[in-house]
Amino acid sequence: MMQLIWNGIIVGSFYALVALGYSMVYGIIKLLNFAHGDIYMLGAFVGFFTLSSFGISNETSIPLLLVVLLLSMVTTGLIGVGIERIAYRPLRRSPRLAVLITAIGVSFTLEYGVRQIFGPNPEAFPIRLESSGFEVAGVRVTASQLVLVIIAAALMLVLAHIVERTRQGRAMRAIALDPQGAQLMGVNVDRVISTVFFIGSALAGAAGVMAGAYYGSIDFLMGFIIGLKAFTAAVIGGIGNLYGAMLGGLLLGLLESFGAAWFGGEWRDVFSFAFLILFLTFKPTGLLGARVVERM
Amino acid sequence: MTTLEVADVEVYYGRVHALRKLSFTVGEGEIVCLLGNNGAGKSTTMNLLSGLVRPKSGRVTWDGMDLATAKPWDIVASGLIHVPEGRRIFSTMTVHENLLLGGYTVRDRRAVDERIERVYELMPRLAERRRQQGGTLSGGEQQMVAIGRAIVGGPKLLLLDEPSMGLAPLVVKQVMEIVAAINAQGTTVLLVEQNARAALKIAHRAYVVETGSTTLSGPAAELARDARVVEAYLGS
Ligand SMILES: Nc1ncnc2c1ncn2[C@@H]1O[C@H](COP(=O)(O)OP(=O)(O)OP(=O)(O)O)[C@@H](O)[C@H]1O
Ligand SMILES: [Mg+2]
């Protein structure tokens, strides 16, 4: 039971990290960025590429994991900024459907680009989590699992601080509410949107590296399902809402962990997407969405 | 001395011809008022000045800056600040956060804090409501936030688009007094109003805008007596 919760929290924190970028991008430019899951995949592959270039494999060093994590975050962050610049910005004034289709195109480009370079078969991630650990309240916890969860939590705290307390964060929220109004405050909307793409993509890249280490293997389609899961998490929490994305990610991780234990692993995805449909039907604003009073 | 000059400007929205050879000037330290009916092109003119709408032809210069091509954020940073029609308060952000956003382009944090304090002195109602969400304020209070936000940006030229819209007469009077006070401290003001009576009281000069062109102009006191203005905009 406690073990299921712990596993749910670990997987849930990956979902939350990816869902945050999904939700932030939706919040600021109202785009469902279907390519976001593929940034997570890129994060894993950047880590894989860097480590294998140095001939590293089967490593369990936590400091090394942190270095690779940071490197992947910066790389995927920049890739995210580039994608927005090249693919989405020229369509800022186009119909939503055009941008949505572009996002799907970007997704395929990233997936099959990586397939061209690294091939279609799964690769073993060069860093593993060591399996020795300790028991707390009947739960097997390894040091590196703990590190993963702490990093994820720290990243989310930093993000919450940026969005809630800093000048850039205020600008992000202002654009989400009224882009033209934000422009009248002197906000350089293009630059703030770039920042959002950087942060969101860096978080997804971080999750990709963590997932590589956690699951042990990566492949070019690994971003597809997690993209859908992150979308589900964002919807459960209330899309556009940061805390909603965090909560939604954790809840989804827990749901899957229990669902898989009770009904069998093959039911995991059915479980998540059934929840997506339930929420979209009965509470499309999610758990934390639209709870704000607004006077028209 | 002329600080803002608009000359022969043409603006189109697709096939809609919104401004036709529009020309007017605003001098340093003045309050200039634009009067006109719905759809005359007043808000379009304001958006033109703040860089949200671009002219097809004509000249728009302010303080040596070409507003026809300048980026909206550079325009704000240079001290031309636009309080848009309908206030556009960031509804889920607090009054204080709204004011902080007004100082977004101001690098000096101390100056921002000082100006926010000044706004709270000028409009004590906002000080009481500093932690309240902007969207829950009354219309008059929202207008004060919108003007306060502009003050925090340190305006040299303040554009106000229908600040009295939807406000009770007493509140309109308060808002006009605040505008006059801001002007007295050295800020040039361009004011768009449907409430011609209130606007002409504080304005130095005024222009009448009809279907995208200025048709009449002169000192506010003279226009207030002009038969055509009285009939069209002041009622009987
Ligand atoms: N975004 C737009 N797209 C198309 N037409 C527009 C747009 N904005 C304004 N117009 C048109 O341009 C003309 C001028 O509009 P504008 O908003 O400048 O008028 P206004 O003088 O501010 O009117 P009001 O007093 O009602 O605010 C109108 O005919 C309007 O329909
Ligand atoms: Mg208007």
* Type and span of the H or E element at B170: helix B169-184
Mean pLDDT for all residues in chain B:
94
CB contact under 8 A, A188 and B73: yes
CB contact under 8 A, B92 and A171: no
Listed residues B121, B154, B187: the one ending a domain:
B154
Chain A touched by B102 (CB under 8 Å): yes
For the stretch A154-191, pLDDT in tens is 999 999 999 999 999 999 999 999 999 999 999 999 99
How far apart, in whole angstroms, are the C-alpha atoms of residue A154 and residue A162? 12
Chain B touched by A93 (CB under 8 Å): no
Select from A170, A171, A183 the Cβ nearest to the Cβ of B72. Answer: A183
Q: Which domain holds residue A62?
A: 2-282
Residue A63: count other Cβ atoms within 10 Å of its Cβ: 7
**Per-residue pLDDT band at A290 (split at 50, 70, 90):** low
Give domain status of residue A6, yes or no. Answer: yes
Q: What is the percentage of chain A residues whose pLDDT exceeds 70?
A: 98
Average pLDDT over residues A138-143: 83
For residues B165 and B194, the answer to whether their CB atoms sit within 8 Å is: yes
pLDDT at residue B236, rounded to an integer: 52
Q: Which residues of B touch A188 (CB under 8 A)?
A: 71, 73
* Type and span of the H or E element at B189: strand B188-193
Average pLDDT over residues B43-53: 97
Q: Are residues B190 and B179 part of one domain? A: yes
Of the candidates B213, B214, B206, the residue with the CA atom closest to the CA atom of residue B224: B206
Q: Are residues B235 and B180 part of one domain? A: yes
How far apart, in whole angstroms, are the C-alpha atoms of residue A255 and residue A12? 9
**What contacts A63, CB < 8 A, 6 or more positions away?**
none
pLDDT at residue A280, rounded to an integer: 85
Q: What is the percentage of chain B residues whose pLDDT exceeds 70?
A: 99
Q: Are residues B197 and B130 part of one domain? A: no
Of residues A172 and B226, the one with the higher pLDDT is A172
Q: Are residues B162 and B146 part of one domain? A: no
Does pLDDT of B199 surpass 80?
yes
Does pLDDT of A263 surpass 70?
yes
Centre of ligand 2 to C-alpha B163, Å, is 11
> Residue B179's domain is classified under what CATH number?
3.40.50.300
B45: left (phi over 0), alpha (psi -120 to 50) or beta: alpha
Q: What is the signed CA dihedral for B197, B38, B57, B23, rounded to 10 degrees?
A: -20
Range of weakest confidence among A118-122, A288-292, B117-121: A288-292
Listed residues B154, B180, B198: the one ending a domain:
B154
For the stretch A204-254, pLDDT in tens is 999 999 999 999 999 999 999 999 999 999 989 988 888 999 999 999 999
CA distance readout (Å), B212 to B35, B42, B86: 12, 8, 21
Number of domains in chain A: 1
Give domain status of residue A212, yes or no. Answer: yes
Q: Are residues B97 and B8 part of one domain? A: no
Could you give the angle at which helices A222-237 and A242-263 cross, rounded to 10 degrees? Answer: 120
Nearest-neighbour CA in chain B from A253: distance (Å): 30
pLDDT at residue A203, rounded to an integer: 97
Nearest-neighbour CA in chain A from B23: distance (Å): 23
Give domain status of residue A296, yes or no. Answer: no
Work out whether strand A139-142 and strand B157-161 pair parallel, antiparallel, or are unpaired.
unpaired
How far apart, in whole angstroms, are the C-alpha atoms of residue A226 and residue A216? 16
For residues B116 and B44, the answer to whether their CB atoms sit within 8 Å is: no
Distance from the Cα of residue B217 to its chain's centroid? 18
How far apart, in whole angstroms, are the C-alpha atoms of residue B174 and residue B163? 11
pLDDT at residue A245, rounded to an integer: 92
Q: What is the signed CA dihedral for A89, A95, A96, A102, rounded to 10 degrees?
A: -60
Q: Which domain holds residue B99?
A: 88-154
> Where in chain A does DSSP place strands (E)?
123-124, 133-136, 139-142, 217-218
Ligand 1 pocket, residue B36 CB under 6 Å? yes
H-state helical runs in chain B: 42-49, 72-77, 95-102, 109-122, 124-128, 139-152, 169-184, 196-202, 220-223, 227-229
pLDDT at residue B111, rounded to an integer: 95
Q: Are residues B122 and B55 part of one domain? A: no
Select from A167, A185, A294 the Cβ nearest to the Cβ of B76. Answer: A185
Q: Which atom of ligand 1 is nearest to the CA of B14?
A: 4
pTM across the whole model: 0.91
Distance from the Cα of residue A13 to its chain's centroid? 9
Q: For chain A, how many residues are written?
A: 296
Listed residues B108, B132, B154: the one ending a domain:
B154
> Residue A60's domain is classified under what CATH number?
1.10.3470
For residues B224 and B214, the answer to whether their CB atoms sit within 8 Å is: no
Q: Which ligand is nearest the CA of B44, by number?
A: 1
Q: Are residues B126 and B26 part of one domain? A: no
CB contact under 8 A, B135 and A173: no
Select from A171, A180, A295 the Cβ nearest to the Cβ of B104. Answer: A171
3-class state of residue A285 by DSSP = coil
**What contacts A229, CB < 8 A, 6 or more positions away?**
A15, A18, A19, A252, A272
pLDDT at residue A12, rounded to an integer: 95
Q: Are residues B109 and B44 part of one domain? A: no
Across A240-244, B147-151, B196-200, which has the greatest mean pLDDT?
A: B147-151
Give domain status of residue A88, yes or no. Answer: yes
Does pLDDT of A296 surpass 70?
no
Does pLDDT of A272 surpass 90?
no
Phi, psi of B206 (to 5 degrees): -145, 155
Does pLDDT of A130 surpass 80?
no
How far apart, in whole angstroms, are the C-alpha atoms of residue A273 and residue A229? 8
Does pLDDT of A292 surpass 80?
no
Give domain status of residue A264, yes or no. Answer: yes
Mean pLDDT for all residues in chain A:
91
CA distance readout (Å), A169 to A165, A187, B76, B135, B219: 7, 11, 19, 19, 45
Of the candidates A213, A227, A224, A265, the residue with the CA atom closest to the CA atom of residue A15: A227
How far apart, in whole angstroms, are the C-alpha atoms of residue A82 and residue A84? 5
Centre of ligand 1 to C-alpha B211, Å, is 10
pLDDT at residue A295, rounded to an integer: 39
For the stretch A144-157, pLDDT in tens is 889 899 999 999 99
For the stretch B109-124, pLDDT in tens is 999 999 999 999 999 9
Judged on CB neighbours under 10 Å (0-12, 13-18, 19+), A87 is middle
User: Ligand 1: which residue has its CA nearest to atom 27?
Assistant: B38
Give domain status of residue A289, yes or no. Answer: no
What is the best residue among B10, B13, B47, B165 to mutate for testing ligand 1's pocket, by most ligand atoms within 8 Å of CB? B13
Does pLDDT of A294 surpass 60?
no
Q: Are residues B94 and B72 part of one domain? A: no
Select from B52, B72, B97 the Cβ nearest to the Cβ of A170. Answer: B97
Ligand 1 pocket, residue B13 CB under 6 Å? yes
Which residue out of B44, B91, B96, B129 would a mutagenesis test of the A interface target, given it has the greatest number of A Cβ atoms within 10 Å? B91
Centre of ligand 2 to C-alpha B161, Å, is 7
Q: Are residues B215 and B204 part of one domain? A: yes
Give domain status of residue A291, yes or no. Answer: no
Number of domains in chain B: 2
